Structure 1
Amino acid sequence: MLFLQISLLLTLLPCGDNKNDFQEPITFQIIRISSFYSRFLTQNLGSAWLDELQTHAWENDSNTVIYLHPWSKGNFSDEELIEVEKILHTFFIRLGQALYNHASQWKLQYPFELQVAGGCEMHIRDASVGFVRVGYQGSDFLSFQKNVWIPSPAGGDTAKFVCLLFNLYQGTLEIIHKLISDTCPRFLLSLLDAGKTYLQRQVRPEAWLSPGPSPGPGRLMLVCHASGFYPKPIWVMWMRGEQEQQGTQRSDVLPNADGTWYLQVSLDVEASEASGLSCRVRHSSLGDQDIILYWDHRSSSGWIILAVIVTLVLLAGLAFWLRKSWTCCKPSNTLFPLE
């Protein structure tokens, strides 16, 4: 089974010349956040993620699974998906019931929030690792390890009481173990297979320069933007010739609405030292053809654009003046009525 997983991963992982195209381990996980406002009012938010890409969502009222991509069902049959959904739905219902029934005993005070993350991660050279982690009010509470629930030290006595109860249900423990050790790895591989065209696509970044907020008298903030690229790994750096500028500040890589990514990289410099600086962008979609943008060219381009705009405005004004002058001086037909 391990050899089969390794073979499939090597076949399905996004490829490219950039060694950072893909980071191990690759993870599939379901996240469920339940807000308990009272014994009779609960709100649930659910989602599923393949690494940092959301693949599924849940409707709060009906717990219906929403498949966010055409390939989000993987290669599982409808019958198998329904069965997995039913098991997950039952698990979350029983978890909520246990909290309702023992809220006073466990000293759970409304309102409170419970976070559950469960899934599996796979490495090319190792077997898959399943996990279930439960958080209470944003802190570690429980985890599922070696087929039993283990309390977190941060969970105190309450976590211990919950584990004692949950570990009594041997059938549930076996179902959870099967989900994270067998069902999850198979589904992860099927997602990679069904979505390989989408996941292995290459989208070239667009890049441009702009000035940022002034950092102080006599200084400039140079900002280089890269947007619309996929996959996520990208290298952007301010350079002087072939020398990387160590003061370069990199923002987080943020998602765009279309599934691509955005990044900005800035450099605080003396205004007199801005000349000769460039921003270099490397991405797997570009091959060996890096994008290089020169700050001097940006300034020149800005003046050229401004000159073109001013010229167009002047021409438009001249045309308006000529038209008005011609209209004012045009002979009136009322002085010479036609018979």
Structure 2
Amino acid sequence: MRPPCHCVLLLLLLFHLSGTWADLDGSFTVRLLQTSTFQNNSFVDTEGLGLLEDIELGSLDKHTWTIRFHQPWVRPALPRSDWDTIQNMIKIYLQQFSYLVNEGAMQKEVPYPFVVQCTAGCQLYSNMTSRIFGYVGYNGQDFLSFSVSNGSWLLSQDTDLSRYVQAFLQNYTAFSELVEVLFNDTCVDDMELLLQYGKAALERREPPVATVFARTPGPAQLLLVCHVTGFYPRPISVAWLRDGREVPPGPGLNTSAVLPNADLTYQLRSVLAVAPRDGHSYACRVRHRSLGTRSLLVPWGSSEVVLITGIGAGVLAAVAVVAIAVLWVWRRRKRQQMEVSESRNSILSNEA
């Protein structure tokens, strides 16, 4: 079956738009997602989406096979004539894709309906190098993956159909040539132009908001929950501190995956299981690009949120000890003053 290779062709067409990004701070990944549902040999429903990290650059109008721009700065990045060329190439690609899939389905007696999914893209680094990847799915299951090291397709499931597609892709020399043009020319040549238009979106920073609360699933267990939300970009570090020292990974510590919010920010939860009244102090520490060198520190049992700058766990513990000592001395002195005052009042009362 020939069709999966043509997912890469669509990627090439849209990479004039999305695959030419250099990195402002680390690396960026560009992905093209394609889902084609074949109801029968005469009807196919195709959806396509181009992403830069989590930014939706554009999508495919499945009725007209034209590009819909999701960001105001995407269309001006290229001349109108270039967009016309890209859209014409997309229409040609989709016609060929549908034809070749149906042809392969007939040869291998694949029953309708079925779904072909493709994910392809590249990760671009600040030193102008790149890493490419490609995955093919069939009916919601991994089918093939692309190996960058030797330029070959690997079986994700060993079936007669997957071996048939793998053999075709290995012999499709035009694929290698197109990839070479893409990464040696397009990604590098258009990089500065696209950065100029998308820089503000790529540099967007939203600071996290963190809260700590507790749950008691049983009398012998206390679950401390650190909920962090509203942050952008996605990378974030969340850790628990016990008496100022970071809690190492273990069965009692469970941190969720980063999940999207409706406002294009992210959230996650970190849950720490502790024994009730164990005598330790706990705090949730959050590090994020929007905070710079500072960290967000939310102690358990306190509504106060603290921003700390470059303070290590040992220093935090020492500060806590000093604060407790100062508070103890202050209370002792106050108690002594109250005892002296009460003694004086008693003497004066006796004299009267």
Q: Is 1:251 aligned to 2:253, yes or no?
A: no
Q: TM-score, length-normalised on structure 1?
A: 0.69
CA RMSD of aligned residues (A): 3.4
Shift of 1:32: 0.5
Shift of 1:130: 4.4
Shift of 1:142: 7.1
Q: Is 1:200 aligned to 2:225, yes or no?
A: no
Shift of 1:245: 2.1
Q: Is 1:261 aligned to 2:273, yes or no?
A: no
C-alpha change, 1:163 and 1:266, in structure 2 (3 Å) is closer
Q: Is 1:109 aligned to 2:123, yes or no?
A: no
* 8 Å contact from structure 1 (residues 142, 163) kept in 2: no
C-alpha change, 1:83 and 1:250, in structure 2 (3 Å) is same
Q: Give the Cα separation in 1 of the matches to 2:130 and 2:294.
A: 37
Q: Give the Cα separation in 2 of the matches to 1:44 and 1:274.
A: 59
Shift of 1:105: 0.9
- Which residue pairs with 2:38 in the alignment? 36
Per-residue CA deviation, residues 158-201 of structure 1 (Å, 9 max, x unaligned), is: 45555676788877875565346533555565443321112112
Mapping for residues 205-284 of structure 1, pairs under 5 Å? 205-212=208-215, 214-246=216-248, 247-273=252-278, 276-284=281-289
Mapping for residues 88-127 of structure 1, pairs under 5 Å? 88-125=90-127, 127=129
Q: Give the Cα separation in 1 of the matches to 2:203 and 2:75.
A: 18
Q: Give the Cα separation in 2 of the matches to 1:30 and 1:190.
A: 20
Q: Is 1:53 aligned to 2:43, yes or no?
A: no
Q: Give the Cα separation in 2 of the matches to 1:277 and 1:157.
A: 56
* 8 Å contact from structure 1 (residues 119, 180) kept in 2: no
- Which residue pairs with 1:13 in the alignment? 24
C-alpha change, 1:253 and 1:186, in structure 2 (3 Å) is farther
Q: Give the Cα separation in 1 of the matches to 2:278 and 2:303.
A: 15
Q: 1:140 corresponds to which letter in structure 2?
A: F
* 8 Å contact from structure 2 (residues 143, 162) kept in 1: no
* 8 Å contact from structure 1 (residues 276, 295) kept in 2: yes
Task: Tell me the matched-pair count.
Answer: 280
Q: Out of 51-60 and 264-273, give the one that drifted further.
A: 51-60
Mapping for residues 185-196 of structure 1, pairs under 5 Å? 186=189, 190-196=193-199
Q: Out of 175-184 and 35-44, give the one that drifted further.
A: 175-184
What is the aligned-residue identity percentage?
28
Q: Give the Cα separation in 2 of the matches to 1:123 and 1:32.
A: 24
The runs of 5 or more residues in structure 1 that have no matched partner are 1-7, 15-21, 300-339
Per-residue CA deviation, residues 110-166 of structure 1 (Å, 9 max, x unaligned), is: 1211112233332334633445543323232475989x9857474654455556767
Q: Give the Cα separation in 2 of the matches to 1:204 and 1:142.
A: 36
Q: Give the Cα separation in 2 of the matches to 1:54 and 1:274.
A: 48
Per-residue CA deviation, residues 43-99 of structure 1 (Å, 9 max, x unaligned), is: 222111112333222222222322211223472222212322322332232111112
Q: 1:240 corresponds to which letter in structure 2?
A: R
Mapping for residues 133-152 of structure 1, pairs under 5 Å? 133-137=135-139, 138-141=141-144, 152=155
C-alpha change, 1:223 and 1:113, in structure 2 (3 Å) is same
- Which residue pairs with 1:331 in the alignment? none
- Which residue pairs with 2:298 in the alignment? 293
Q: Out of 185-194 and 224-233, give the one that drifted further.
A: 185-194
Q: 1:286 corresponds to which letter in structure 2?
A: L
* 8 Å contact from structure 1 (residues 129, 181) kept in 2: no
Q: Give the Cα separation in 2 of the matches to 1:242 and 1:80.
A: 57
Q: Give the Cα separation in 1 of the matches to 2:280 and 2:171.
A: 71
Q: Give the Cα separation in 2 of the matches to 1:181 and 1:155.
A: 33
Q: TM-score, length-normalised on structure 2?
A: 0.67
